[in-house]
Amino acid sequence: MAEDYFKDLQPATLAAHAAGAGDDTTGGVVPGVHMATTFARDATYQPLVGENTYVRYHNENVRIAEALITALEKAGDSLLFPSGMAAVAAVFRTVPNGATVLVQQQIYWGTTQWIRDFCTRREITLVEVEASDLTAFRAACTRHKPTLIWVETPSNPWLRITDIAAVSETAHAAGATLVVDSTAATPVLSQPLSHGADLVMHSATKAMNGHSDVLAGVLSVADRESAVWQAIVTDRNTAGAVLGPMEAWLLTRGLRTLPLRVREMSRNAMAVAEFLADHPKVSTVMYPGLATDPGHDLAARQMTGGFGGLLSFVVQGGAAEALNVAGRLRLFLRATSLGGVESLVEHRHTIEPHTGIPEGLLRLSVGIEDVGDLIADLGQALGQ
Ligand code: PLP
């Protein structure tokens, strides 16, 4: 089968060929869009084609995108969801009432907010800990014996790096399932399952799609027979949080250039980080690619081919000055989200004022524009 041949090839080859997906009925070199919601049965009442019965369980575009992500992630299986948050929710719905979960501190605020609310409603004990601090993480694990552990690396917007192999060893010794939100890394820069994680999650809305025009989420698993995965499969298909065919088709198109885009974004982000680190109006730059960053050595071991397009920096002068700088930027669009081909800037303190975010912090999602243009824009906004 074409898919078996493709799975052993390099990510750039796999992605460019969408793991061998084409349109067998027309010979098209890209798959068609399959919009049917239901499928015919033959005279003996068997499904006419394969197992196809109903779109909530079977759609060719969803299957193609999932197969490509499974190959890129070196996973046992993958499932697409209609948003990153729907994928987060699918994982937490497997946790029994009354259990304990351990969640990394200061990760994407939307995840933290939803988990806090969910755990309160389901009487699940929530312990928040800084997972990039292994001593604190291990102590919390021993003390609370969690069922599920959730970490995000690199974290958004602090860019902290968690040691997936070390955290996974501790998690498994405690009998917990380890899930890594790897959105900022993408499967190109990091494969958490290879470091021992049980599940990996992405907001595919970000770099995986890469064009700021699809909302999607994905979970990939190391062991497709595991009880937690079987529960998630059943929940996704019966509760119905399934990605639509058109979004899956667009996502596959975006994924074809993922390695190329991530390489360019990482290169641009590195140059931008170096420029900001030398700028007198900038007090701190958070980017694991910088040799001075506390997560650099670990990121250099754990990530391959770059450090991604996400970075944060703190402007001297607090919120007012950071907002002035953001307001003067012309290429960096003032908008939330990350991972698109176009660069974005966000003042996170405006969005999450009570989470300890420095008032002067600006988060950048660095795109694939000419790096000289990006640096010139930052230079004029900061005032040289
Ligand atoms: N995880 C991370 C790290 C994110 O940055 C986001 C969104 O910004 C999400 C999860 C949620 O994804 P979505 O917006 O696709 O629901």
What single string gives the DSSP state of each residue in 137-151? HHHHHHHH--SEEEE
Q: Which of 232, 255, 278 is the last residue of a domain?
A: 255
Q: Return the number of other C-beta atoms located less than 10 Å from residue 51's C-beta.
A: 9
Closest CA to ligand 1's atom 12: 84
**Is 56 annotated in the active site?**
yes
Predicted pLDDT at 204:
98
Closest CA to 191 of 308, 74, 16, 289: 74
Q: How many domains is the chain built from?
A: 2
- Residue 318, both tokens: 């607090």
Ligand 1: does its nearest atom lie under 6 Å from the Cβ of 84?
yes
Q: Which of 160, 206, 236, 348 is catalytic?
A: 206
The Cα 169–Cα 302 span in angstroms is 15
Instruction: Answer yes or no: do 131 and 194 share one domain.
Output: yes
CATH of the domain at 300: 3.90.1150.10
Predicted pLDDT at 1:
41
Instruction: Answer yes or no: do 96 and 71 share one domain.
Output: yes
Instruction: Answer yes or no: do 61 and 170 share one domain.
Output: yes
Instruction: Answer yes or no: do 90 and 221 share one domain.
Output: yes
**Is 5 annotated in the active site?**
no
Contact (CB, 8 A) for 199 and 228: yes
Closest CA to ligand 1's atom 13: 84
Ligand 1: does its nearest atom lie under 6 Å from the Cβ of 85?
yes
The Cα 74–Cα 68 span in angstroms is 10
Contact (CB, 8 A) for 301 and 288: no
Ligand 1: does its nearest atom lie under 6 Å from the Cβ of 148?
no
Spacing of C-alpha 122 from chain mean position: 26
Instruction: Answer yes or no: do 329 and 212 share one domain.
Output: no
The Cα 203–Cα 83 span in angstroms is 7
Instruction: Answer yes or no: do 246 and 278 share one domain.
Output: no
pLDDT along the chain (384 residues), means of 10: 73 95 93 98 98 97 97 97 98 98 98 98 98 96 97 98 98 97 98 98 98 98 98 97 98 98 98 98 98 98 98 97 98 98 97 94 98 98 88
Q: Return the number of other C-beta atoms located less than 10 Å from residue 99's C-beta.
A: 16
Instruction: Answer yes or no: do 226 and 262 share one domain.
Output: no
Q: Return the number of other C-beta atoms located less than 10 Å from residue 57's C-beta.
A: 15
Contact (CB, 8 A) for 18 and 31: yes
Q: Which of 255, 286, 318 is the last residue of a domain?
A: 255
Instruction: Answer yes or no: do 238 and 266 share one domain.
Output: no
Predicted pLDDT at 2:
56
Distance 122 CA to ligand 1 centre (A): 22
Atom of ligand 1 nearest to the CA of 204: 15
Instruction: Answer yes or no: do 34 and 166 share one domain.
Output: yes
Q: What is the DSSP string of 186-206?
A: HHHH--GGGGT-SEEEEETTT
Ligand 1: does its nearest atom lie under 6 Å from the Cβ of 110?
yes
Q: Which of 203, 231, 255 is the last residue of a domain?
A: 255
User: With a threshold of 0.75, does the pTM exceed it?
Assistant: yes
Q: Which of 7, 56, 122, 263 is catalytic?
A: 56
Residue span of the structural domain in which 368 resides: 258-382
Secondary structure of residue 90 in the 3-state scheme: helix
Predicted pLDDT at 384:
62
Strand partners, 364: 311, 345
